[in-house]
Amino acid sequence: MIHDREALGDSEVRELALDCVEAGIEAADPERAIDRTLSLEGDRLVVGETSYELPDYEEVVVLGGGNAGGPMAAALERVLGDRITRGAIVTDAPEETERIDLLPGDHPVPSERGVESTRRMLELADGVGDETLVLVAISGGGSALMPAPAEGVSLESLQEVTEALLASGATIDEINAVRKHCSALKGGGLARRAAPATVVSLIISDVVGNDLSTVASGPTVPDTTTFADARAVLSRYGIDPPAEIAERLERGADGEQTETPPDRGSDEPPLAETPGPDDPVFDRVENHVLADGFTPLAAVRDLARERGYEPLILSSRIRGEAREAAKTHAAIAEEARATGNPLEVPAVICSGGETTVTLRGEGTGGPNQEFALSAALELRGTGDVAVASVDTDGIDGATDSAGALIDGATVSDPERARDALDDNDACPYLDACDALIETGPTGTNVNDLRVLVVGASATPEASR
């Protein structure tokens, strides 16, 4: 999975850090998640603790999108075979499929081909009936991969506001509050288009705390945000959106929403509020989480124990500025070395969640690369410690790298390293240090995975 492992893993702690990264990503593999959760028992489809009698339905249709769309489609075909009538999933990770069309999209910035692919997928949704079982495969990245601009909103405007939000340091739920109110799909829009069919969503969650209304902007989940919330996000971060988006949000926030849901098969009315928890479109919708941010952490914990290292899962919900989070993680590793607290060495400390980067410079990188470079500065000169930080989808920020692997010897010129951080230019610096981790698209997305390995030679100085 990790390219050029021999060059990266030149010590025991570095090797283990890489092994932990691979184990974590593999545990969140969508095909494995579907195999764990779905089974076909005669004519009964079992999803977790819920079952669906397939003879009760005239057809089975698969819809959805996200970074894990390809592997999810392949796994669903393996489980259901020719019981699938047709399907369409928008993804940037294609696989060989027979019954489900895998349509191209782009991430993290939506594209014209993503708009066309989403339109085709929605046409299938418009064609289902009350005797249809709709399986919706949803995973991280779906917000960008499935752009469906609302009437009067252009893709260019959607791209502009998305780029501004990504650069602002806004949280994913704040970004999605805006996206939902500029879309005909997000914030329960897909459930609205598929009603009154039975809808079963299969979700690979990349959202801290598993707020399902935020995973891929919640296409099958009630939305509790409003036009006013979306407008407040843009104001909070000082973003001046394109005129058509500003006008849409302003009119919506001023109470000009259309109260009547859209007619079946038609485009969503320009000012229709997203469907809320009491909307009847959700009467036949069920959402199942197959894997989330804790999934890779559990795998890292198990591998650490197997190798004789004491594991510690800090949290699957780490958030905040990446470079600042790195300082706290480094401090915990230092404490373990010095005092044996909060755990004895050798140890593996891991965390998940989603950190953010507030752009101040014009460099290239991503949250995991900034985390790694900041940790390298903090741990400079520290022996027998390695830190790996990756985005589990294999793409950190807008780079081709998943993240980076560092140790106490990575930074030899701290001033230049600090300059790189100041310019948000961690990628070139880490590349020059041969520290970048490259996996290519992994086919999954459960947010960030950070692993700190503190070796056996880091003997505590005292017990406190």
Question: DSSP string of 331-348?
Answer: HHHHHHHHH--SSPSSEE
Q: Which residues contact 42 (CB under 8 A, 6 or more apart)?
A: none
Residue 168 and residue 240 in contact, taking contact as beta carbons nearer than 8 Å: no
* pLDDT score for 266: 46
Per-residue pLDDT, 262:
45
Please calculate the CA angle 289-290-293 and round it to the nearest 5 degrees. Answer: 80
Q: Decide: helix, strand or coil at residue 277.
A: coil
Q: Does residue 265 lie in a domain region?
A: yes
- Contact in structure between 233 and 252 (CB atoms under 8 Å): no
Question: E strands, 56-140, where?
Answer: 59-65, 86-91, 100-104, 132-139
CB count, 10 Å around CB of 36?
Answer: 13
The CATH number assigned to the domain holding 79 equals 3.40.50.10180
- Indicate the SS3 state at residue 262: coil
What is the structure's pLDDT at 301?
98
Residue that terminates a domain, selected from 256, 272, 291? 291
Q: What is the pLDDT of residue 338?
A: 94
Looking at residue 462, what is its pLDDT?
A: 39
Range of the structural domain that residue 244 is part of: 30-291
Residue 462 domain flag: no
Domain boundary at 238, 259, 291, which?
291
Distance between CA atoms of residues 206 and 171, nearest Å: 13
Task: Specify whether 307 is located in the same domain as 450.
Answer: yes
- If asked whether residues 94 and 174 sit together in one domain, one would say yes
Among 214, 110, 111, 228, which residue's Cα sits nearest to residue 162? 110
User: Residue 323 belongs to a domain with what CATH number?
Assistant: 3.40.1480.10
Residues 241 and 317 in one domain: no
Which pTM value belongs to this model? 0.83
Query: Residue 387 and residue 405: Cα distance in Å, rounded?
Result: 6
Same domain, 378 and 274: no
**pLDDT given at position 4:** 87
Of 264, 195, 201, 183, give the one whose Cα is nearest residue 63.
201
User: Could you give the number of structural domains in the chain?
Assistant: 2
- Splitting the chain (464 residues) into consecutive groups of 10 residues, what average pLDDT does each group show? 90 97 96 94 95 97 94 96 97 91 89 96 96 96 91 92 89 87 94 97 92 91 94 97 95 67 46 89 97 97 98 96 98 96 97 93 96 98 97 91 97 97 97 96 91 80 39
The answer to whether position 422 is within a domain reads yes
Q: Is residue 280 part of a domain?
A: yes
Boundary (domain end) residue, out of 260, 291, 322: 291
